[in-house]
Amino acid sequence: MKIWQALKEAIASLSANRTRSFLTVLGIVIGVGAVIGVLSLGQGAEASIIGQIESIGTNVIYVFRGNTSEDVTNPNSLTTADADALANRTRAPHILNISPVLAGQSSVRFGDESTQTSIMGVVENYAEVTGIELSEGSFFTESNVTNRSSVVVLGPELAERLTGRQTELVGTTVHINNYPFRVVGVTKAKGGNQFSSPDMDAYIPITAMQLRVKRQSIPNAVDFLLIQAQDSQSIDDAMQEAKSILRSSHRLSSRQPDDFTMTNQQDVLSIANSITSILTIFLAGIAGISLLVGGIGIMNIMLVSVTERTREIGLRKALGARKFDIQLQFLTESAMLSVFGGLIGVGFGWLLGEIVGAIAANSGTPLVPQISLNSVLLATLFSLAVGIFFGWYPALRAANLEPVEALRYE
């Protein structure tokens, strides 16, 4: 039996039972749609997270307090004195900028509106190191840091929530931890993700943070340091210089482990890629279960079809049809059901991703579903494989029917 003839007969057979064929295809549509939707959302989430990380720059190094890999916990292991030591260009020629950060949570109030959010105590070069841009005003200056000035730069979402607007805010006053702070700038929107939302942050001089918001037992202790290397090629050299300076500053002997943890953007990107990939595969695996259920539906309907068409099979065999011809006929029908369902499922998955993306956009989450050609081919070929796999047994059963017994069947 030629392929084109098998296709004609498959179309005629499936058309004769349209309602049953539609319900069978529906299982494949839901399965493929779920897989495509999950993959597109997973890729969109990965792109969003990586975009947030890369927006800071690939030449940024993070230094955190303590060293969990060596079971070293020291809440005061990093200070502004460490930042001053790292800023020495003679000892660290590959380090361009160093920015100490003291982070905390506090209430921010404007008039009757108040909200709890992240307050970042930083120095004047923080915006340059992290790539923050301002929509109006300017970042605070070195003199603001030196004089412990009560000035603040607001994230746009925080400004909107407090004042109902994101413009014409320079010169207004907000209260942080019940202390008045003058607004000197508003940052451009960067978007947020499930980990953080920089658009909700407020930035104040680190000295004002230490004095009015987050007082510590050691006044010059900081939460972490941001180191900006000369360029992405200088990352390793900058990390080695920073490690040497910090160990010397902390008076650590050669036998003592580091009391700090150092990582860079490439490490963060690798971790983010691993997490999003694992989550996407896990969710796609769960969605794939519905595709297998659809395959079982194909097997069930094909077995019913074999039973209903037993006399037809006997007649074909009596007229000279080979086992291969009968197998090809039923496999073509099952494959056609799965491929047709797979193609519709791709469109359904795309629609599902767009709906979720629209909901995310309305909620302020920068999630743009991304459907790649690989995911479409994977889902379509997998649906074809499901159809052939689950159609094989019914086709084999039909091919093994004895012509005489099949013709006697009522």
- Is residue 161 located within the same domain as residue 310? no
Whether residues 47 and 145 share a domain: the answer is no
Identify the domain containing residue 383 by its residue range: 3-53+270-408
> Does residue 344 form part of some domain?
yes
pLDDT at 335: 79
For residue 201, what pLDDT is reported? Answer: 93
Is position 280 within any domain? yes
Helix axes 18-56, 323-362, angle to 10 degrees: 50
Q: Does residue 390 fall inside a structural domain?
A: yes
User: Do 245 and 289 fall within a single domain?
Assistant: no
107 and 235: one domain?
yes
* One domain for residues 183 and 214: yes
Among 197, 271, 250, 241, smallest CA distance to 61 is for 241
Residue 256 within any structural domain of the chain = no
364: left (phi over 0), alpha (psi -120 to 50) or beta: left
Cα(166)–Cα(87) distance, integer angstroms: 35
Same-domain check for residues 40 and 123: no
Looking at the fold, whether 160 and 234 belong to one and the same domain comes out as yes
Task: For residue 255, tell me if it sits in a domain.
Answer: no
Say what the pLDDT of residue 349 is. 82
Cβ proximity of 368 and 358 under 8 Å: no
8-state DSSP, 107: E
CA–CA dist 369, 372 (Å, integer): 10
**What's the confidence (pLDDT) of residue 77?**
74
* pLDDT reported for residue 195: 42
Biggest CA pair distance of the chain = 102
Query: What pLDDT, on a 0 to 100 scale, did the predictor assign at position 194?
Result: 41
- Let me know: does 249 contact 63? Beta carbons within 8 Å: no
**Residue 116 within any structural domain of the chain:** yes
Q: Which residues contact 171 (CB under 8 A, 6 or more apart)?
A: 182, 183
Does the pTM exceed 0.85?
A: no
Query: Mapping DSSP to helix (H, G, I), strand (E, B) and coil, where does residue 63 land?
Result: strand
Helix (H) or strand (E) holding 66, with range, is none
pLDDT value of position 191: 65
pLDDT score, position 269: 65
Domain count, the chain: 2
Q: Is 42 exposed, middle or buried (0-12, 13-18, 19+ CB in 10 A)?
A: buried
Is 326 within a domain? yes
The domain boundary, picked from 201, 217, 249, lies at 249
Question: pLDDT tens track of the chain, all 410 residues?
Answer: 466 666 666 666 666 677 777 777 787 888 888 778 777 777 777 776 666 655 555 678 889 887 766 665 665 578 899 999 998 888 889 998 999 999 999 999 998 999 999 999 999 999 988 888 899 999 999 999 999 999 999 999 999 999 999 889 999 999 999 999 999 999 998 765 444 578 889 999 999 999 899 877 777 889 999 998 887 778 888 889 999 999 888 888 888 888 888 887 666 666 666 777 777 777 777 767 777 777 777 777 777 776 666 666 666 666 666 777 777 777 777 778 888 888 888 888 888 878 877 776 676 566 677 777 777 777 777 777 777 777 777 777 766 766 555 455 45
